[in-house]
Chains A and B, each alone.
Chain A
Amino acid sequence: EVELVESGGDLVQPGRSLRLSCAASGFGLNDYAMHWVRQGPGKGLEWVSGINWNSDNIGYADSVKGRFTISRDNAKNSLYLQMNSLRPEDTALYYCVKGSGSESYSHYSMDVWGQGTTVTVSS
């Protein structure tokens, strides 16, 4: 069974850092692009970042560019999101999402979603 399990969410103060992880199982991570998508409390979905299969095609939403870094370790079947300079508006449920293709993070739909990990930024 294809599964994505996120971890690393926590309550942090503004300005601090946090690293999210996503463990993939049931498929080879190196065959697919991956994404992070977030959902603020009671709000809609917001794409955060995407990465292709070999990490040479990466993109970020304007709201996180320069603060967040996406990375992957295909040997460990894991995806990561390093979040620095966190702001209250980064408070959200963060989903790890599998792309349906590999060559780029765009041009493919998002076909498998994890259950999410919660990040709360507050003093």
Chain B
Amino acid sequence: KQEVTQIPAALSVPEGENLVLNCSFTDSAIYNLQWFRQDPGKGLTSLLLIQSSQREQTSGRLNASLDKSSGRSTLYIAASQPGDSATYLCAVRTGNQFYFGTGTSLTVIP
């Protein structure tokens, strides 16, 4: 069974800092990995999706990398802003199913 772990569980940084969120998974036979953002009391919004054949994806200040063989992904956020405060979840797809990590709760302090 696929297990997805996210470290750290919570992170607090001052505004402007660059930061890295980590995601690891136990079964490397994945189709893709997706990073989501979740604001309190809301649903999930997709940030970036990396196909299993890709190494990284970028969108604005976000960059996600994937090392499938070692079962790891990182989400890099450049020049963090208070509006980035949210919970970030990663999910891997195996077959028709998605497996989610427990998330990293990020607080950016003005």
Q: Do A and B bind each other?
A: no
Chain A positions within 8 Å of B, measured between CB atoms, are none
